[in-house]
Amino acid sequence: MPEHSQRDTPTWQPPADPEQFGGLLDAAQLDNLPDSAFAFPGLRKEPLVSASHVRNALARFDQVEGASDADRALAFANIRQAASYFGVHVSEDSWQDLMRRR
């Protein structure tokens, strides 16, 4: 059984009111989100506040700049947790699979 590190333990938490986050988020909404709402919490990139945002995070995963391998491992864990919550299918088994999508 593989060992889990802190970097692949999800930090994502569902939004208090997911109904309010259906479309694009403006700057004020992004600023008001806690770090736990983002796939990349340290970078505050790729918010995970709805099913469409989870799908966007999966599609744009390889475009996030300035992310270390540890950041990507945590982001993938967060995306998987949010995907489960919002009912989004994730076929990839690791963050490296998302880097090879193109």
d(CA 78, CA 39): 5
Q: Which residues pair with 47 in a beta bridge?
A: 38
CB-based contacts of 5, cutoff 8 Å, min separation 6: 73
Q: What is the pTM for the complete model shown?
A: 0.86
Q: Provide the pLDDT for residue 17.
A: 72
SS3 state at 68: coil
| pLDDT level of residue 22 (50, 70, 90 thresholds) | low
| pLDDT level of residue 7 (50, 70, 90 thresholds) | low
